[in-house]
Amino acid sequence: MKKKFYKTAAGFALAQLLLGSAPIFAQDSVRILKDVVVSATKTDQKQLQTGKVITVITQDQIERSQGKSLAQLLNEQADVIVSGANSNPTANKSVFIRGAASGFAVTLIDGVMVSDPSSPTGGAFDIRLFPIDQIERIEIIKGGQSTLYGSDAVGGVINIITKKGGPEGIGVYGTLTGGSYGSQKQNVGFNGSLSKFSYNVSYTHDQTDGISEAADKNNTGTFDKDGYNQSSLNANFSVEAARGLRISPFFRFTSGSYKYDNGPFADAPNQSLNRYYNAGLTSQYNLGNSNRFNLNYGYTDNTAYYESSYPSSNIGRLHLMDLYYNHDFTENIKFLLGTDDRYTQIKQIGSANVTPNANLYSIYSSLVVNKIAGFLNLEGGGRFNDHNRYGYNFTYDFTPSINLLENKLILFGTVSSAFKAPLLTELFGPYGANPDLKPQKSTNYEAGFSTALLDNQFNLRVAAFRRKLTNAIVYLTNGYQNFDKENDQGLEVEPSYKYKILTLTGFYSFVDGTAVRNGVNTYGLLRRPKQSFGLQAGVQATQTLYVSANFRSYGQRSDYNYPTNVTLPAYQLLDGYAQYGINGRIKVFVNVNNILDKRYQEIYGYNTMGTNFNAGVSFNFQ
């Protein structure tokens, strides 16, 4: 099978190589991309026009991250911590945005929410299940975003935008890699367009022998390796069904087996079998330049079977229907009105007949007014939510921004509220269920500025935030209760500089918080460092050679070690990357992680990878 794959890929590469070539390297891009249109705002605003704190990971950046996983790429962004990103590749990954707990961030794929209602990490989407090779770019919107995206959007939103159809005809692209720990990956995709129809189909196979998930505390040398074997298919199509009407169905499927251990310092021959299935469509009916109807539907099915001393299974399903209408009164006044209906269901562990479910229906609206008096932008909106279990709640947001000095200085701020509905496992699960739980609610404040100097060669964004969470759901001796409060605050500094062949990007993040129980501070932010720092330097040494170095530092953080907490020491990581273009359509690359071979633990009792590398070749023929 593998030999056939390599021969097929090589054949396509040779054929296209003979047909011609095209430039291979896009221009370096800085983090603050003022002309980029951000689709996750649902009004297709330019980043210059919104006061929201948005980071765009561009296609160019993703192509220069070959050899990394999606978890590792997200972990390199300001105030985004992915716990387990550099641990064993099979380990579960938890995403923390601005210090908010895992499960307090919404993941979208092409603007459509995906989540796992049965997930033990707060219903969050398992980012291990989506290969980075199938991604075109990523938009990260920080802060409370429940007005547009409802439940869970407390810390922020991650919008993964997949690769789409290409130029007319048939194009082929792909990546072949191999590296440390017996890792290998093969990706091949086909895309193109014909008249009013376009398509993209991509397949990825990824496997590794891995390392022992659990740390061998006593150096026995007997802990086995915990690897995985995963296959993923991503297909999307787009057709102009009628004048002004475009319909884009999609289909995604991932199946994998993942070995795992019994916990901190505890080896075991366990294995999970995971299946992720996602299908639906996005569509837009354009009634001229100023009126657009958008309909998104997605069905997600996540199934996990755990083979261990205590075998179990989890099945979570999500149906999402999102219909919204855009009306542009003028180029600078835009109105949005939408309705969102989501149905979640889980199959109880150990029960063949009980399938708890919940329905959350919402109506939301927002208004964007740009260039008031030439310099003031205003955004605001609200959302009414009707949950069939807990009742009603309302969220809002208000975001002003001021453009000064011909857009060289932008001041912005936001006041918003957000919420997270109780999980089905908390309402009806087998352990400590409480059907009377209320949603967790947050009030969020942020303010900052961004500036562009030296003819946009130097960019800087600084943002401070504060979040107050009430009705926090915790597990007490009598089960789940709305008992705690949390107060979090932080600061983000993101500079970037480009001069000729050199590009520098960096970040500094500070986040701190406490939980309050009965008026007493009980604990800080587990697995989230108070301070983190990153600096990446990239050099386009020649027209075909690009090299970069990426340094990151993560401060001390707490982790749970029953019956108390333990403090994990700070650590630093240095990565290197080199990429060379051949004949304009083929790139060879090598990525080296943890060059300093730093020994550390992201999670107490679990291993992380020492110095490791991936090398390979990628091709793109259109």
* pLDDT of residue 14 exceeding 50: no
102-106 long-range contacts (CB < 8 A, ≥24 apart) are: 103/152, 103/420, 103/423, 104/152, 104/154, 104/155, 104/420, 105/152, 105/153, 105/154, 105/155, 105/156, 105/157, 105/158, 106/145, 106/149, 106/150, 106/152, 106/153, 106/156, 106/157, 106/158
Q: Compute the distance between CA of residue 576 and CA of residue 344 in angstroms, rounded to an integer.
A: 43
pLDDT at 107: 94
pLDDT at 2: 39
pLDDT at 606: 96
User: Is the N-terminal amide bond of 563 cis, ω within 30° of 0?
Assistant: yes
* pLDDT of residue 517 exceeding 80: no
pLDDT band at 228, cuts 50/70/90? very high
* pLDDT of residue 17 exceeding 90: no
Q: Which residues make Cβ contacts (< 8 Å) with residue 488, sequence separation at least 6? A: 98, 99, 100, 466, 467, 469, 511, 512, 513, 525
pLDDT at 405: 87
Answer with the residue of higher pLDDT: 284 or 46: 284
Instruction: Give the residue-averaged pLDDT of 399-414.
Output: 92
pLDDT at 36: 63
DSSP-derived secondary structure for 6-55: HHHHHHHHHHHHHH------PPP--S--TT-EEGGGSS-EEGGG--S-EE
Instruction: Give the residue-averaged pLDDT of 140-155.
Output: 95
pLDDT at 217: 93
Instruction: Give the residue-averaged pLDDT of 87-98.
Output: 92
Domains and CATH numbers, the chain: 2-621 (2.40.170.20)
For 540-595, what is each residue's pLDDT tens digit? 999 999 999 999 999 999 998 888 889 999 999 999 999 999 988 999 999 999 99
Q: Which residues make Cβ contacts (< 8 Å) with residue 159, sequence separation at least 6? A: 39, 40, 108, 109, 110, 111, 138, 139, 140, 141
